[in-house]
Structure formats: C-alpha cells, structure tokens
Amino acid sequence: MTNQLTHPKIILDTDPGGDDIYAFLWLLGLVKQGLAELVAVTSADGNVAAKRTFSSASQILNLAGFPQIKVGRGVPIKGEIIEDAGHIHGADGMGNLSHTLPPATHNFEEARYSDEIIIDELNAAPGEITIVAIGPLTNLAAAEKKSPGILKKAKEIVIMGGAFFCPGNVTPHAEFNIWFNVEAAQTVFDSRDDIVVMPLDVTRHLIFTRDMTQAVTQANPESKLSQFLTALCEFMIGTALGYRETAGIPGLLVHDAATLGYLFYPETLMLKRAKVRVETKGEWTLGQTSIDSRPAPKTGANAWVALQVDEDKFFTSFVEDLKHLFTTSDS
C-alpha cells in the first residue's frame, strides 16, 4: 500500500516572491527525493504582476531541472490595482536577479489560466491532489466561482495567510495574501470546512539565516542554483533588516515554507480548530482575519489554524531536504 502522507500530489499556487522561492525549492527537493509529485505550478498575481510571477515560476523550474512541469498564468484581479510587494521582493519578485538566470521557457501568452488548470486537475483526480497556496487566493476563488464545489475535490488545501493574535505585515491588522484579495480569501474559507492555515503567528518565527543558506549551497557553491540562492538570500536579508522583521538576525522570513512544514513534518506545528472570518469591508481593518477563542464549542469551524511552531525541528528538515536539490544539481 502506498503511503499518501509521504508522497502527496501537489499543485503549487504561488506569486514568487523571495520566500515563495525558498518554499518552491524545498518542494522540488522533496520531489527529487521521490517524496512528492508536483502536478502543476499555478502562478498568481500578488507580490508582483501575473506576467512576472509566471516567468519566475518558469525560471525556477528550469534552474532546478524541472522544465517539464506546467505553469498556469495568474487570473487577473478584478477592480483597481492595489499595491504589490516589489519593495520587499525586488521589482521582479526575485531580488532583481531574474536577468542572471536562463530565460523562461514557458510561454505566458499561450499558457492556460491557473483556475482552469486547477479545475481540470481536481476533476481528473478527485480527492488526490493537495493545493499549496502561498500567494493571494485569486486563482482558487476563480476556480470555485467557475465550477462551484471544485475546491472540495482537493485532498487538502494548505494556505499561507492571515494574522490572528499578532499584527499584520501590510497594515496593522492584515497579512498580505489575505489583504490583496479579501473576497477571494473569504470564498476559499467558505469552500470547505478544513482549510489549513499558516498565519503570521507562526511564520514570523521562521527566520532562514545566511548560515543556513551557506549550509545548503556549500556542496556545490559554484552552481548557478547556489549562486542564485546566495544572492537572493542577501537581497532578502537587506529587506528583512530594513523592515525590522528578523530582530537584527541576518536572514529572511520564509512564511510560505510553513505550508510544506505542515505537509511533510506536521509534528513541528500545533494547530487550532477554528472558524476563520475575513474582514472584507473594514475601513481600517480590511483583510483582518479573526477566530473566536472564547471557550465555546467550535460550531461552524472551517479551518485548522497553526499557532505554534518548533523552529529547530522545522529548519533541520528544511535544510536537509534542500541540500538534496543542490548536491545533485549541475545547473
């Protein structure tokens, strides 16, 4: 009997992003070990515009030796364009390093939209595919609107988003992925009763240090992949220190990687059963996520929310899995 827990089929919905790239590479390290299957990457509008996140996804796949994996183009967000996070991740979302990498080989104009890929893959394998969503939830919500009930066909949906008992990172109350498209976030929370959530409450503890990056790249420091990760780490350290995110420690917050910690090393996290609500109208609190912590039965719960993480165990596994990608990479 195959053990599905250790070999999940995954769709990665992402808006690269420095921390997306660390998570992406962790996942590819797991794929390389035969511990996961990456069905598709569905790129999303978010940290930077959809055309750029699509190209970044393609460049990462090529660099890490997985050019055959399909990439979806992000569904455009309706309404006015809101502020992206280029000031955090670089204008290209990749620490302004995209020009140092081999160009994207996937074609944006000809690519299928991410919501269509999600719908088709879930219909083709109901109950088998886990969606790991580490950007704004526009693609997932678009799939649900187009094909109501489709998200229930995922084995599990694990998202990075929200801030419950801590400040936000894009406003005093809101976390970026939720805030960027609040309606989409609420649609996803309404889609099923077991959304798994990795909020800032845990991800603010996840500092991937310069030393860890060196430990990963040291087996093959001259490879393109190592040189890229080293330069990305330095760029993100500059941002993290500038925005006082890491208490002066030279490293970056790898928010998005928490989703993979949950899937592959669940013993590193403590989760709480909860009903998550998204503030979709607040003047000062737009994008705030809340749960009811009062001691009453959790009727109507729609989520499992991570509130504690064992950082040491988390990073031990993260670093060791990443090394697999770098020691065998000749790119």
Give one DSSP letter per residue of 206-249, joined into a string.
-EEEHHHHHHHHTTSTTSHHHHHHHHHHHHHHHHHHHTT-STT-
CB 261 within 8 A of CB 311: no
CB of 7 to ligand BDR, least distance (A): 25
Q: Does 204 help bind ligand BDR (rule: CB under 6 A)?
A: no
Does residue 85 touch ligand BDR according to CB under 6 A?
Answer: yes
Please report how close the Cβ of residue 204 comes to Ca ion at its closest, in angstroms.
15
Q: Which is nearer to ligand BDR, 29 or 135 (CB)?
A: 135
Told to judge if 255 belongs to the known catalytic residues of this protein, a careful annotator would answer: yes
Region near ligand BDR per CB under 6 A, out of 122-130, 175-183, 220-228, 235-243: 175-183
Q: Are 187 and 141 in contact (CB under 8 A)?
A: yes
Answer for the pair 301, 271: CB distance below 8 angstroms, yes or no: no
Residue number, 59 or 220, with CB nearest to ligand BDR: 59
When binding is defined by CB under 6 A, the residue of 58, 130, 169, 246 that contacts ligand BDR is 169
Strands 129-133 and 9-14: what pairing? parallel
- Region from 16-24, 104-112, 207-215, 323-331 binding ligand BDR, contact rule CB under 6 A: 16-24
x/- mask, ligand BDR, residues 25-54, rule CB under 6 A, reads: ----------------------x-------
| Residue at token pair 């090393």 | 265
Q: Give the integer Cα–Cα distance in Å for 156 and 159.
A: 10
Alpha helices (H) in the chain, listed in sequence order: 18-32, 50-64, 86-89, 114-124, 138-146, 176-180, 182-191, 200-203, 210-217, 224-242, 258-264, 311-327
Contacting residue, 160, 206, 252, 276, with ligand BDR by CB under 6 A: 160
Interatomic CA distance for residues 292 and 272, integer angstroms: 11
d(CA 331, CA 315): 25
User: Interface with ligand BDR includes 93 (CB under 6 A)?
Assistant: no
Residue with the CB atom nearest ligand BDR in the bound state: 176
**Residues found near Ca ion in the complex (CB under 5 A):** 15, 17, 20, 134-135, 256
- Tell me whether the omega of the peptide bond preceding residue 17 falls within 30 degrees of 0, making it cis: yes
Q: How far is the CB of 141 from ligand BDR (least distance, A)?
A: 16
11, 12, 20, 153: which one contacts ligand BDR (CB under 6 A)? Answer: 20
Site size toward ligand BDR, by CB under 6 A:
15
Euclidean distance between CA atoms 306 and 193, whole angstroms: 15
Q: Which of residues 256-315 bind ligand BDR (CB under 6 A)?
A: 256
Min dist CB 143 to ligand BDR, Å, is 19
Hey, which residues are catalytic here? Answer: 255
**Applying CB under 6 A, which residues contact ligand BDR?**
17, 19-20, 47, 85, 88, 134-135, 160, 169, 175-177, 255-256
